[in-house]
């Protein structure tokens, strides 16, 4: 879902990073200048 709609995540203080909540997980990611999805971290909440 994130790969198809990268803007779906909530923006963060970092202009490039976004957060998406999926079940019990927080996925923090960014999309680079070549439109590649980069997963920065996954937190189990």
pLDDT at 24: 96
CB atoms within 10 A of CB 9: 20
User: Which tokens belong to 13?
Assistant: 């203080």
pLDDT at 45: 84
- Where do the DSSP E strands lie in the chain? 10-11, 17-22, 25-31, 37-44
Question: What mean pLDDT comes out for the span 13-28?
Answer: 95
Residue 11 pLDDT class (50, 70, 90 cuts)? very high
Could you state, in order of their start, the residue ranges of all structural domains in the chain? 2-44
């Amino acid at each position: 879902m994130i790969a198809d709609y990268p803007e779906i995540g909530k923006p963060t203080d970092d202009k490039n990073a976004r957060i998406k909540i999926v079940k019990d997980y927080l996925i923090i990611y960014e999309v680079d200048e070549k439109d590649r999805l980069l997963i920065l971290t996954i937190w189990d909440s």
